[in-house]
Structure 1
Amino acid sequence: MFTGIVEELGRVRHCRRNGNGYDLSIECQEVLKGTALGDSIAVNGVCLTVTEMDNHGFISGLAPETRKRTNLESLSAGSMVNLERSVTPTTRMGGHFVQGHVDATGEIREFRRDEDALWVSIGAAESLMRYVVVKGYITLDGTSLTVVDVGRDWFSVTLVAYTQAHIIMPSKRVGDTINIEVDVLGKYVERLLQTSEQQYNTDPENKRSPISAEFLKENGYE
């Protein structure tokens, strides 16, 4: 698990075919501290296992399916990536609960300056948008951010000056892909509601759960 607070910008040394998968080699320093073989590091929000290490970086195996479903497919030598080590019992929860399991990729639609802040609009599949709410959390390339606005197939976030200097998003261009992981709490709520509804439909004599979509809406969870 991660918090969505990027610890370091790494540089890709290479991404090479290795049997049925790929070896992704990343040059870095900060995230090597306290890291051992078998530990997890989030690379652009994708949880990867450290399989080799040296004093200047690490290598992780990358499955073809993972590469295809994330923007790791576009990486080449010299590409910059967001890095974060997995949490420990003493890690501060600076962002939110991030699993490192990318739900989908989105497309950057627009950058707009607002004094020192950078406003970014992201296009996403409509099927994903039911998990995206204004002032809710979302993870973009491994960065925990707060949603500013939401549309039918898009949402926006704002980056303060400090964040801009410590993540890769400002270096991207309109049309580039970005890894998206929605807040897992929304998926748990959806699953609980579905299970409750299924149980009621199977045996309507059972007492219906007091938590429903209507109940959540009436109490401010729109």
Structure 2
Amino acid sequence: MFTGIIQAIGEIASIEKRSGDVRLTVFSSSLPWDDVELGDSIATNGVCLTAVAFIPQGFIADVSVETLDLTTIKHWQKGTAVNLEKALTPQSRLGGHIVSGHVDGMGEVVSREKDARSERFKLRAPKSLAKYIAHKGSITIDGTSLTVNEVDGDIFDLNIVPHTLDHTVIGSYSPGTQVNLEVDVIARYLERLLMGDKAAESGTASQMTESFLAQHGYLK
């Protein structure tokens, strides 16, 4: 588990294709490595990766075909900058929100503009994920815990303060940039709970609609 508070920016040192999937080497001179052990999880642009080996100031991880399909890793190259966060411990401060590192899908930056000292970003989410994104709710963008400012259909707004721009890869975003999205885990579980016994039926995993909510008394 993670908090969505980025600890360092690293870069992809190498990408090695292996029988259909990928082995990554990630380097960072600014992330403390002294407490990272073999098998530990490290969120890399929001993707939970397991350290299978180490290099000086870096780690090596294997990436499955499913992860390649669902995340921006498929577009990474040697030198790509990535947000890094080590897994939280019982002593960690939960400064962001509960983040699993299990990316739900990819979004796209639609626009970026100045808003005093901050910057305002509009992003488009896949239609299958838009229902989980709420005004003033939490969302994880490339591993960064953020608050949603506005929502309009599948478009949502983020106000990014200077510190976050300077200390995450968000500062490099421009219209067209693809990002990893993880919606609030509470929203995903709430959907299953609201479905009740229907959740156990085949083919009903993602059928939470307005008509379903109205039928069961959650909308008037």
Give the TM-score category using the shorter length.
0.7 to 0.9
| Contact 2:3 2:99 (C-alpha < 8 Å) held by counterparts | yes
Count of residue pairs brought into register by the alignment: 206
Partner of 1:117: 118
Partner of 1:202: none
| Contact 1:134 1:149 (C-alpha < 8 Å) held by counterparts | yes
Letter in 2 for 1:70: T
TM-score by length of 2: 0.88
Partner of 2:59: 58
Structure 1 residue 115 displacement after superposition: 1.3
Structure 1 residue 33 displacement after superposition: 3.0
- State the Cα RMSD in Å: 1.9
Rounded Cα–Cα distance in structure 1 between residues aligned with 2:218 and 2:137: 15
Partner of 2:18: 18
Q: Which moved more, 1:122-131 or 1:80-89?
A: 122-131
Partner of 1:6: 6
Partner of 2:182: 181
| Contact 1:31 1:84 (C-alpha < 8 Å) held by counterparts | no
Structure 1 residue 196 displacement after superposition: 5.6
Map residues 49-128 of structure 1 onto 2, 5 A cutoff: 49-128=50-129
Structure 1 residue 217 displacement after superposition: 6.5
SS at match of 2:196: helix
Map residues 201-212 of structure 1 onto 2, 5 A cutoff: none
| Contact 1:52 1:58 (C-alpha < 8 Å) held by counterparts | yes
Structure 1 residue 198 displacement after superposition: 7.1
| Contact 1:31 1:83 (C-alpha < 8 Å) held by counterparts | no
Greater radius of gyration (CA): 1
SS at match of 1:191: helix
Partner of 2:210: none
Letter in 2 for 1:58: F
Rounded Cα–Cα distance in structure 2 between residues aligned with 1:4 and 1:122: 18
Partner of 1:204: none
Letter in 2 for 1:60: A
> Structure 1: which 5+ runs fail to align?
200-211
> Structure 2: which 5+ runs fail to align?
201-212
TM-score by length of 1: 0.87
